[in-house]
Amino acid sequence: MTVPSITAFEPLPKDEAIRIFWPTPNRSLFDAPEKYYARTRANPNYGRPGWTRDCGRRFHRACDIAPVAPKQTGRTTTVIFSDCAKNIEYPSVEPTFTCDDEISAVYDGVVSEFNTDVSASPLGLHIILEHRWPTLRNIFFTLYAHLSSIEISGGSVRGGQRIGRMGQTSRSADAKNWMSIAPHLHFEVLDENHGPFDPEVFLRTFLLH
């Protein structure tokens, strides 16, 4: 799937009243959102959607959901942070973590695409599910990326069904390095033309909580 370069989210359709399931065991979005999104020491908004990367210069179409209990590896890696106030970059040695949270389908649908070849995509192992809005009957998609394993092979999927496990997979060495300090599920919501909805707004609007 190819998603065009974007600078804004599509509006959610009006008058739809679906109820969705949590995509991971992390359920802190409403009570402690600072624990819901992956974050780095230099960028607390790292995992949030919108203009949250590279000091507000790069648009992030996903929400990166943090694991409930990331595990320290006892190792470190070097990343390049940005000091936005000074407009400089600097290296930093950071501790690394692993993750293994269950990933669930947020809504009933069918498997549209899944990739089991880590080297084939910057999203690593990933799943795309196709859904329909109940009133408009238009198609929309949800995407779950950087998984460590995929536990479905096709066909229909129920909302709340486990479909894989959180991981840190990507064909990009740089992406894997960042995920080692900020592990997460990369979660997107797309319309029928693969234009992105704001995934945070989608979750806050339709989650059962």
Domains defined for the chain, CATH in brackets: 33-40+62-70+98-206 (2.70.70.10)
CA 136 to centroid of chain Cα atoms? 26
Q: Which bin fits 112, alpha (ψ -120 to 50), beta or left (φ > 0)?
A: alpha
d(CA 184, CA 173): 16
- State the pLDDT at residue 1: 55
Tokens of 53: 């990367």
The pTM of the full predicted model, rounded to 2 decimals, is 0.95
pLDDT per position as a tens digit, 181-200: 999 999 999 999 999 999 99
Q: Which bin fits 4, alpha (ψ -120 to 50), beta or left (φ > 0)?
A: beta
DSSP-based three-state secondary structure for 205: helix
DSSP-based three-state secondary structure for 3: coil
- State the pLDDT at residue 5: 66
DSSP-based three-state secondary structure for 35: helix
- State the pLDDT at residue 6: 72
Give Cα separations from 63 to 50, 93, 112, 132, 180 (angstroms).
Answer: 9, 25, 20, 21, 17
- State the pLDDT at residue 57: 86
Any alpha helices (H) in the chain, and if so which ranges?
A: 33-36, 173-181, 199-206
What is the C-alpha end-to-end distance of the chain, expressed in Å?
Answer: 31
Give Cα separations from 73 to 100, 103, 181, 187 (angstroms).
Answer: 13, 22, 10, 24
DSSP-based three-state secondary structure for 193: coil
d(CA 149, CA 166): 8
- Please identify every stretch of the chain with a pLDDT value under 70, giving residue numbers as ranges: 1-5, 209
- State the pLDDT at residue 208: 74
Cβ-based neighbour number of residue 93 at 10 Å: 9
